[in-house]
Amino acid sequence: MTRVSPSSHFANADAARTALQMALPMIEPQMTQPEVVGSGFLYIVVMDPALRPGDVPFEEAILLEHAVGDRAKWDADYAAFARAKAKASWEQGMDGHRLQALQPYKLREGDSMLWGAVCLDGIVVGVSGAHAYYDEAFATAIAGCLRAVAKHRWQQAVDARQLFAGGSAPGR
């Protein structure tokens, strides 16, 4: 019997890269705008929407990590901040701002108190380096693009008359 992957079939790492490439033309021009990206740097973390806490450790659920700007010039560990934001949103299944502003009682010792991650229909993206509201905007754009890419790939499978994600019934 073939083992079925627990990872998303339609929102996989390749789809995350495609989504990122769709969103970067909006994000990259903002890198020089201090009122948007105060640091001049961004770090992006995209999670696998099919994997939930308890399925795999957080690190194994990361589909994609991407730095914008020269990491050698970072004035803070934006990767750690983006991962921490993504982890909190992934574990709680909600946007970081909602968690911080409306449900801070769910925060555990060691959880990030920064916001800038979103959970859009289960697609979690964390961004760090811009002001929090722009981190959130960039994360939302990437998550929306990933959702669109996944829906497009699903439609292609439907049009090809596939009855199961991946083309064949599980266990065959």
DSSP-assigned letters across all residues of 8-27: -SSSSHHHHHHHHHHHHHHH
The amino acid at 22? M
Do the beta carbons of residue 86 and residue 96 sit within 8 Å? Answer: no
101-122 mean pLDDT: 96
User: How many angstroms separate the CA atoms of 52 and 55, rounded?
Assistant: 5
Weakest mean pLDDT among 51-60, 74-83, 93-102, 160-169 = 160-169
Rounded-to-integer distance, Cα 46 and Cα 68, Å: 14
d(C-alpha 118, C-alpha 23), whole Å: 15
Q: How far apart are CA 119 and CA 100, in angstroms?
A: 14
Q: Where are the domains of the chain?
A: 13-159
Say if domain 13-159 classifies as CATH 3.40.50.150.
no
Report long-range pairs for 165-172 (Cβ below 8 Å, ≥24 apart): 165/9, 165/10, 166/4, 166/9, 170/2, 170/4, 171/1, 171/2, 171/4, 172/2
Per residue in 21-50, pLDDT tens?
999 999 999 999 999 998 889 999 999 999
**What is the average pLDDT value for the chain, to the nearest integer?**
93
Specify which residues 68 forms β-bridges with: 42
- Please report the pLDDT score of residue 166 as a whole number: 83
Task: Please give the distance of CA 38 from its chain centroid, rounded to a whole number.
Answer: 21
pTM score above 0.85:
yes
Model confidence at 71: pLDDT above 80: yes
